[in-house]
A = this chain, B = another copy of it.
Amino acid sequence: MPYVNIKITKEGATADQKAALIKGVTDLLVTVLNKNPATTFVVIDEVEMEHWGIGGLPVEEYRKKLKAEKS
């Protein structure tokens, strides 16, 4: 009876990729814990880039900063 919530930044995941996440996570729970797929929920949240922070910055600024540091 698992419930899985996957949060990713919104940057172009396709319907096929989302379906692959749903299938992959469900298969994993069947394989590892013998769960019943019919009562396994997977909910995907796509989070706007400006709503996701890492390193104290919105994710796009964080990536720019990392890039600048490397170059």
List chain A positions with a Cβ less than 8 A from chain B.
1-9, 13, 15, 17-29, 31-33, 35, 37-47, 50-59, 61
Instruction: Tell me the complex Cα distance, A62–B19, Å.
Output: 11
Chain B residue at minimum C-beta to C-beta distance from A18: B50
Chain B residue at minimum C-beta to C-beta distance from A58: B19
B57–A19 contact, CB under 8 A?
yes
Please give, as numbers and ranges, the residues of chain B lying within 8 Å of A52 by CB-CB distance.
1, 41-44
Question: When A43-B7, A52-B42 are in contact, do A21 and B26 touch as well, CB less than 8 Å?
Answer: no
Please give, as numbers and ranges, the residues of chain B lying within 8 Å of A18 by CB-CB distance.
50-51, 58
A3–B43 contact, CB under 8 A?
yes
